[in-house]
Structure 1
Amino acid sequence: MKESSPPPTAARPSGKRRKPWYIRTGRRLLTSVDRFIARQSRVGDPTFFDPAEFAWVRPLEADWQTIRAELDGILRERDALPNFQDISEDQARISKDDRWKTFFFYGYGYRMDVNCARCPETTRLIESVPGMRTAFFSILAPGKHIPAHRGPYKGVMRYHLGLQVPEPRERCRIRVGDDIGYWQEGGSLMFDDTYEHEVWNDTDGVRVVLFLDVMRPMRFPGALVNRLAFNLIRLSPYVQRARRNQERWSQR
């Protein structure tokens, strides 16, 4: 659930390094593509979407405790799970510690077979979501703050299903643009991560959500452009490096 609120002061990453040419070029191209996608979107261009508008949300919410049961088994090994920046090296600009753990099922359409086998019911549910491209458990330790940042591409919508949400809820939150959202167990948040956003877990408990990226519903020819742009991103060195990193972690 969400509410409108003035944005808190954001902590900004420092010590920026010049990025490789292919990332700089890709981001310039994506800026133009994002403007086109916003015009072609069938669901508008808000910060937060209404999850009730998407039929695939209801089965996930109805079976959230099934997913939670499989998560509980994974959390017994939480310290051994990879940090997000261990998989996606670009995340090191917003997270440098060991307080944001991940357990990937899919990344940009690539299936992580070992992890999927460990959570078969979760895998069955996420594979029923139309347009699902990325899926993982996102695990935030107590006191974790993810500073303000923006996602790279407007062609997907970001979905969170609350699985383990500590209290008090106002201290475990996400800001997207000027709006604030709160997780609840068995409840959904869906947002556009190309808006500036940041996350706080200012509680003494661990927050876990099922994190999905789902293709945005588009009109023609926007849908065609969206698929093409996504497939180009999927083949980029950035994604391929993350895929290899995840495979190495799975082999451990």
Structure 2
Amino acid sequence: MTPLMENAFAAIRERHGSQSIVRVEEMLETRKQSRHPLQKGAKWIMPGISQQPWHDPYGHPELNPVVHALEANHASIKSELETAWSARRNAFSDYEHYLTRQQDWQALYLFRDGAPVAESAGSVPTAFKVLQEQAVDTEKICPLLECHFSTLLPGAEIAPHCDLWNFSINLHLAVDIPDGCGITVAGETRSWDEGKCLLFDYSFEHEAWNHGTRPRTCLLVDLWHPDTTVPERAALVVLITEIRKLMGDA
């Protein structure tokens, strides 16, 4: 713990109560971490978070407005994405996952580095507006992560891996889904239903593929896990931001 972390944690405890960030503090004590075997590759596992790989996208009242708004606007989101893909391909880039970079995995970012990507507002205005109103303004998005259109080119495969932690959760809006695509999380395989959302805990081992003949695109939104609290989220932002600075990643 650096002095900045200690001071920030003390301020959060003073405001929200002495027990308000106990789970975050326990997470820092690796000997107290309890994790599912299929979360072994994750860096941080905060105790007390549901060990449930797949979630009902309509099962969390906090997240329902995001899910319903994305699904209600799917037609416009898909149309604008198709225009951007054909006319503004230079706005897409190889997706840089923390483990790898893939040319056959393309991304158009709407939120990154703790803020909306303003340049994307003109390319995909409907998705940008929904994200801003339903996830950014409401502070449901995890500012430590991102939102992007994720396009897997034909033949692309994302190898099995765990993401960094369990205190955020990954929402997928199925924007454009050809045959031959799928995703496996903790050994359970599902397919995307175009216009609908999937929700899963990506601290569990997962993989995805496009064995179809045209690109597969989902809109991915990294949201706070609904099992986390407001003070915990504040502490986690301080913690991870400071760690990234110390590691030279910020």
What is the TM-score of this pair, normalised by structure 1?
0.71
| Alignment deviations for residues 168-207 of structure 1 (CA, whole Å, 9 cap, x no partner) | xxx3111111211211210111000000011111111110
Q: Structure 2 matches for 1:76-91, cutoff 5 A?
A: 76-77=86-87, 80=90, 81-85=92-96, 88=97, 90-91=98-99
- Rg bigger for which structure? 2
Q: How much has 1:223 moved relative to structure 2?
A: 4.1
Pick aligned residue for 2:128 from 114, 123, 129 = 123
Partner of 2:165: 153
CA RMSD, Structure 1 to Structure 2 (Å): 2.6
Partner of 2:46: 36
Deviates more, 1:49-58 or 1:191-200: 49-58
Partner of 1:184: 193
Structure 1 Cα separation of the partners of residues 195 and 29 of structure 2: 34
Counterpart code for 2:235 = L
Partner of 2:6: none
Q: Relative contact order: is structure 1 or structure 2 higher (C-alpha 8 Å, sep ≥ 6)?
A: 1
Say if 2:70 is the partner of 1:63. no
More helix by share: 1
Structure 1 Cα separation of the partners of residues 218 and 245 of structure 2: 27
Residue 143 of structure 1 contacts residue 200 of structure 1 at CA under 8 Å; is this kept in 2?
yes
The number of residue pairs the alignment matches comes to 200
Q: Structure 2 matches for 1:170-249, cutoff 5 A?
A: 171-218=180-227, 222-234=229-241, 236-237=244-245
Counterpart code for 2:155 = G
The change in CA–CA distance for 1:237 and 1:205 in structure 2 (over 3 A counts) is farther
Counterpart code for 2:124 = C
Structure 2 Cα separation of the partners of residues 208 and 181 of structure 1: 15
Residue 151 of structure 2 contacts residue 215 of structure 2 at CA under 8 Å; is this kept in 1?
yes
Counterpart code for 2:149 = F
Pick aligned residue for 2:105 from 96, 100, 109 = 100
Residue 174 of structure 2 contacts residue 192 of structure 2 at CA under 8 Å; is this kept in 1?
yes
Structure 1 Cα separation of the partners of residues 246 and 160 of structure 2: 21
Counterpart code for 2:107 = T
Unmatched tracts of structure 1, length 5 or more: 1-27, 244-252
Pick aligned residue for 2:57 from 51, 57, 77 = 51
Residue 78 of structure 1 contacts residue 101 of structure 1 at CA under 8 Å; is this kept in 2?
no
Counterpart code for 1:137 = F
